[in-house]
Amino acid sequence: MKLVRAWLIPFTLVSGGIIIGIVVASNMGWLPTGTAGPEPIPSPIVRPVVTAPQLPMAGGDGKNFVEIAKSVKPAVVNIAASRSGKPGDSPHGSLEDPFFRKFFGDEFFKRDAPQREPKERGQGSGVIVEAGGLIITNNHVVNKADEIRVFLSDKREFKGKLIGTDAKTDIAIVKIEAAGLPTVPWADSDQLEVGEYVLAVGSPFGLTQTVTMGIVSAVGRASMGIAEYEDFIQTDAAINPGNSGGALVNVRGELVGINTAIFSQSGGSMGIGFAVPSNLSRAVMDQLVRTGKVVRGWLGVAIQDLTPELATQFGITDTKGVLVSDVMADSPAKKAGFERADVIVDYDGKPMDSPTHLRNAVAQTPIGKKVSVKLIRDKKPKTIDVTIVEQPKSLGQPGATESRESAVPTGVLSDLEVRELNEDLAARYGLKTTERGVVVVGVKSGSTAEEMGVREGDIILEVNRKAVNSLRSYEQAASGLPKDHAVLLLLKRKGQTIYLTLRP
């Protein structure tokens, strides 16, 4: 064992020396060409330093958020509107942003307010959409203003002229006398998708050229109580007081919406902001510039959502579409052949998935245009061509009725108490004595009818698609109904007709 160790040590030293000599000779070029030497020692691996993710790019044109902000900010203006008030009026009343006072406090509003002739003041934003000085903003920013001042990003100040307003969409158009101004190009808001990045640019609290970032949280938001015609883009980009009328742009720097409102319980942004889509804003703007008013199209149908329960009643497997609950007399729909219980699935080449979508599409249709409408009637597809006319100022439909005694239906309708409509019932429920049908005067507590939304004062027009224009016709339609079968009702409530399904 000792001999092995004694021999191993000098052998190792000699071998190591030979290897080192070969490596040195190879590196110094002493070995002849083609002589195989040991593999070179690899260089250390250099790993890249991990950095923060880069800003999303805009796609083909390669703009990032910094470039987008630089291109959009010069076209976003600050708008100050004021009008004379009456003695005793609160200054900064209807023109101010709804949450402006929460951020500045009462002292801000008192310090410059005249004691005898207070002035209402409003702060908001606007977007230059034409180089000649055409600006789009919100109606609530400039409504009834005596004076409008527009401040550009380069600190120039102009007197603004109000071209027109549309309270139903909360859009207004202001003009300043200038040329060669920067603009924001329009985008097709119909192509906007949930999850896209957007920037909100405006002047919150008078702080000009403020940019916030977020994504599109939802599209087609309606029933918010903000405007009559609602088709809002919802975003979590911070839209603060003073952002009203500002720009919502996509990652190509194009205008996809006009910032309008926020949902807030504290007065500040809570990640729920709303903007009027660019397509709707542009359509309103074009009419205001041309005529000073907005004319809307009219089809003449009462519509509602197609729920799964209603779809089952009509033998439809898909809930996409809009249910026609009534067709108005002397309307384009009536003349074209629309019927109650038609399900509209396509209007002018665009699929319809909600009453709001259809209502807005009809309203934006040019007057006199012939539109192709695809629908489902009695489980079969059908196409109807209809010519859209101007929306009338008042809508109504006359009717007639008889006078009979009360009746108590059987089966699934036994939870309802109905009576023939008379003057007393009409006065009690705020109805017209000329209404057709029978009126609901009682709904059993805890019943299916109550859970499904039947209310006192509702007028029953149909039972399982059978017309009801008197108490006798109601009894005939309601008699013999199996207790375990659902019943489809057509009701009229506050002038609107709706379908409801009652399940046992």
Residues labelled catalytic? 140, 170, 244
Q: What six digits make up the tokens of 41? A: 């020692």
CB atoms within 10 A of CB 248: 32
Strand partners of residue 76: 127
Cβ count within 10 A of residue 98: 13
Q: Where are the beta strands (DSSP E) in 357-421?
A: 370-377, 380-387, 389-390, 416-420
Token code pair at residue 103: 């951020």
Alpha-carbon dihedral sign for residues 105, 111, 117, 121: negative
Give the residue from 180, 191, 187, 174 showing the smallest Cα distance to 68. Answer: 187
Q: List all residues 6 or more positions away from 97 whose beta carbon is below 8 Å from its beta carbon.
A: 122, 123, 124, 140, 141, 241, 242, 244
What pairs with residue 499 in β-bridges? 490
Closest among 150, 146, 147, 82 to 113, alpha carbons compared: 82
Do residues 196 and 166 lie in contact, with contact meaning Cβ atoms separated by under 8 Å? no
The Cα 281–Cα 170 span in angstroms is 9
Closest CA to 128 of 164, 179, 87: 179
Report d(CA 283, CA 435) in Å as an integer.
Answer: 38
Burial of residue 172, with CB atoms counted within 10 A of its CB: 0-12 exposed, 13-18 middle, 19 or more buried = buried
Q: What is the 3-state secondary structure (H, E, C) of 39-82?
A: CCCCCCCCCCCCCCCCCCCCCCCCCCHHHHHHHHHHHEEEEEEE
